[in-house]
Amino acid sequence: MKANIAKLAMLAAVSTAAGLMLNGVNAKADTTVNDQSAIQQQANNTSTSSYTQNNVQLYSNNLIQTQTQAATASTASAQNINIPAGYTLDAVRNVQNTTQANDLEKISISGVYNNNYRQDAGAQQEAVDINNLTSDQTVQMNQYALNLVNKVRSEFNEQPFIQNQNSIDTVKQMALQYQDKDESLLNGHWHDQNILQGHAENISAFQIYINNVSGLRARPFDEARGSDFINTNSVPLFSVSNMDDLQAMIYYGVTLMLFKDADDLFGHAQNFLTNYQSNNLMSVYPSLTEGTGTGKYSNGTTFTYKLQNVDMHFIWAGQNQAGPNQPSDDNTTGWRISSDGNHYVYYQNGQPLSGRQYIKLPTINGTGTNWYLVDNGVVQSQWGDWYLFGSDGRILTGVQKWAGSYYYFDPVTYLKVTNDYRQSQWGDWYLFGSDGRILTGVQKWAGTYYYFDPVTYLRVDNNYVRSQWGDWYMFGPDGRIVTGLYNWMGSLYYFDPVTYLKVVNQYVYVNGIRYWANANGQLSLA
């Protein structure tokens, strides 16, 4: 350990603003202590954290164990939020005062302890600059947030919220107005009605570490646990560098607004679950403001470091957009947007097209005709459970880019392919994981391990490469991981049959012959 270990005088890293709901034509706060809550949060910003940084990031030398962990992590996209016993719609809806709110939080707080974000190995590979999210990343972030909230709503048999590009763009512009005005929950501001113009809003706010102080590295947000956020005066600092970190920030923002919301009389939970939203389009986008923190080395020397306030705005705004060929009455033929806003439906003489078929129809955007896969007339817009449609509504097959990654859609069934090694439309082969995303790095497939280049996504043959967790492995001419004796670059090496690692500085016996492996792993008879 270095002599000067930095101890952070932490800024309180989490706050939530009471949700604003639409009440007739006026939006109002769910609590009467809005400004006091914000001021108190600001006052807590100088509390001391017990978090000391000089972390050692641990990786297993056992390839099998590491791959098992990665397989478990890949299920994060399907993660649910577990609802505590006694947390009901009536309990949330009926909170009217501090006593009722505190009583409910005694029940609901276990939802913070017991809900932990599960890491997504694919999302970890997608680098994110939270100051400059791409269009694909903005969509991916929004769909993650929407699906997360809707999974909770489905637990109570509530209809899902929806979103479209218009709602995403609208909320992004609102969030950036907060940013332009340097307004954050963590610098004493609140909901800005001049920006919201009567729209309902929930805000969760975190502080993240963005500096590069020697010997100091904040934990990635995807390593956070629910218990980290119980004491809002001593929340560890986290960093955001990839899509998994961003998803984790959204995940904990939602769980805190649902289950640790007594200070705001559960106004956030009511917005998510019980308040009638006249606009059921919900989208999210962060606003960013700058902050600073102070730290102290073990020798007493103090220093400052940079922080970023990240206010994640959940806003119900935007417009439903029907297709240009929407029929004007019940007896016409053409495309209609479904009542939930998620699908296009093709009607003939006022009735949805019956049966499941791949059929040539007028294009959704009115430019001509094209082929569509329809099930009782329904075509899912943009992204469905299994199918991908282009901007003109045409179904896509083969390798396709979507939401910052690549997927493969079967040319016969049109289904998204998972856990398979497939040949692209241009002839190269790629491996796709359990969520359909293209895979890179060391991956298990068909009873062995292969390595896929992080840039080209192609399988690497006959090469010695470094894995995503730092260890080096040898892959043979067929791409399979190598064990036992292997001749590489004019020298003989031995790779352990259990760990797959190169053996160094020891004797090895193969078929009764003894070899010495030097510090580089090169073998000689001994």
9 in a domain, yes or no? no
Closest C-alpha among 425, 380, 435, 443 to residue 404: 435
| Per-residue pLDDT reduced to its tens digit, 311-358 | 999 999 988 654 333 444 456 677 665 555 445 666 777 777 666 555
Mean pLDDT of the region 275-281 = 79
74 in a domain, yes or no? yes
Domain count, the chain: 1
* Rounded Cα distance, 338 and 288, in Å: 36
* Rounded Cα distance, 380 and 127, in Å: 29
pLDDT band at residue 275 using 50, 70 and 90 as cut-offs: confident
223 in a domain, yes or no? yes
Q: Judge contact between 253 and 112, C-beta under 8 A.
A: no
Q: How large is the greatest C-alpha to C-alpha distance in the chain, in angstroms?
A: 90
Distance of CA 294 to the CA centre of its chain: 30
* Rounded Cα distance, 403 and 230, in Å: 33
pLDDT at 387: 63
473 in a domain, yes or no? no
| Per-residue pLDDT reduced to its tens digit, 14-60 | 444 444 443 222 222 222 222 222 222 222 332 222 222 222 222 22
pLDDT band at residue 13 using 50, 70 and 90 as cut-offs: very low
* Rounded Cα distance, 49 and 52, in Å: 8
pLDDT at 364: 56
For the chain, give percent helix, strand, coil, nearest 5. Answer: 25, 30, 45
pLDDT band at residue 503 using 50, 70 and 90 as cut-offs: very high
| Per-residue pLDDT reduced to its tens digit, 280-301 | 899 999 999 988 877 777 777 7
Residues belonging to the chain: 526
Closest C-alpha among 351, 377, 349 to residue 364: 377
| Per-residue pLDDT reduced to its tens digit, 421-442 | 999 999 999 999 998 899 999 9
Which residue range(s) make up the domain with 279? 62-316
Alpha helices in 300-364 (DSSP H): none
pLDDT at 304: 80
Asked whether residue 457 carries a pLDDT value surpassing 90, the answer given is yes
> Which tokens is 197 given?
């113009």
pLDDT at 363: 61
Please, what is the average pLDDT of the chain? 76
% of the chain at pLDDT higher than 90: 42
Distance of CA 100 to the CA centre of its chain: 33
pLDDT at 500: 97
Closest C-alpha among 232, 283, 236 to residue 262: 232
Closest C-alpha among 15, 450, 68, 403 to residue 204: 15
Residue environment code for 288-322, b if the CB has 16+ CB neighbours within 10 A, otherwise e: bbebebebebeeeeebebebbbbbbbbbbbbeeee
Asked whether residue 5 carries a pLDDT value surpassing 50, the answer given is no
355 in a domain, yes or no? no
| Per-residue pLDDT reduced to its tens digit, 146-190 | 989 988 998 888 888 889 888 999 999 999 999 999 998 888 888
290 in a domain, yes or no? yes
110 in a domain, yes or no? yes
Give the bridge partners for 310, in sequence order.
206, 288
> Which tokens is 486 given?
């292997």
> Which tokens is 131 given?
């100051």
173 in a domain, yes or no? yes
Asked whether residue 476 carries a pLDDT value surpassing 90, the answer given is yes
pTM, two decimals, is 0.53
Asked whether residue 131 carries a pLDDT value surpassing 80, the answer given is yes
